[in-house]
Structure 1
Amino acid sequence: MAVLAGVGAMVGALGRYGTTRLVQRWYGNHWPVATLMINWVGCLLLGGLTGLQVSNLLAISLGTGVLGGFTTFSTFSHEVVMLADQRRFGAVLGYLLLSVLGGCLLAAVGFWWGLIHG
């Protein structure tokens, strides 16, 4: 199981890297849009996996592995600190609210979708 989680995490981390590069090319690097989008997608998909009540094998390989490697709390936290260091307190508040409330809402939407379609 650990190997599945590890391989999945590698796939997720590569996906995060590619997604970050692509989003930054489109939107620039002035505001952490890439991390926000990545974490939102991860919340939605993990909620969906939970609602679908997938097997333990899929939960570990996709949930813990791929989505664990794809999403990133540490980058989110670092970006909050960097925005605060730049004294962009409105951006800090907006990023915190969008990330936490948006992530929880999307996890709930994914969960309910999974329950309905599972």
Structure 2
Amino acid sequence: MMASLLVMIGGFFGAICRYAVSRWAARRSPRFPLGTLIVNLLGSFLLGWLAGSGAADAEKLLVGTGFMGAFTTFSTFKWESVQMMQQRQWAKVVVYLAATYSCGVWLAWLGYRVGR
């Protein structure tokens, strides 16, 4: 019961933060999914940091599973990629995919190193 409550609380705040970042980014970059890129890259770093920090199980549930689970988004990332492909925006989709995957892995590694 406590584990579910921690995930729920983390998810609540993660979803609110994701929404805020997405709204902020949409005003600055209406033609590129900057909000999704930011939350996924920041989430990669923070999840790496959490993994490297030796956090307690409760913290991992609250921040890792709850907050990060709601803050980051794999499905929106994929859908935005498909939309760019359908619109034949090849340069944008290549930059988006490359930045998300390569920078995401690098930031997760960096976060892990910082956490240790």
Settle same-fold status: TM greater than 0.5. yes
CA RMSD between the two structures: 0.8
- SS of residue in 1 equivalent to 2:68: helix
Q: Partner of 1:29 in structure 2?
A: 30
Q: Partner of 2:5 in structure 1?
A: 3
- SS of residue in 2 equivalent to 1:54: coil
Gaps of 5+ in 2: none
Cα shift readout 1:82-111 (whole Å, capped 9, x = no counterpart): 000110111111111100111000000000
Provide TM-score, normalisation by structure 2. 0.95
Q: Partner of 1:108 in structure 2?
A: 109
Matches within 5 A, 1:88-107: 88-107=89-108
CA distance in 1, matches of 2:78, 2:6: 27
**4+ runs of 1 displaced by more than 4 Å?**
none
Cα shift readout 1:58-103 (whole Å, capped 9, x = no counterpart): 0010000011110000110010000001101111111111001110
Cα shift readout 1:10-32 (whole Å, capped 9, x = no counterpart): 1101110011101111x232011
Is the counterpart of residue 14 in structure 1 residue 4 in structure 2? no
CA distance in 2, matches of 1:53, 1:83: 39
Shift of 1:3: 1.5
Q: Partner of 1:51 in structure 2?
A: 52
CA distance in 1, matches of 2:29, 2:37: 14
Provide TM-score, normalisation by structure 1. 0.94
CA distance in 1, matches of 2:39, 2:84: 18
Query: What's the % identity of the aligned pairs?
Result: 36
- SS of residue in 1 equivalent to 2:112: helix
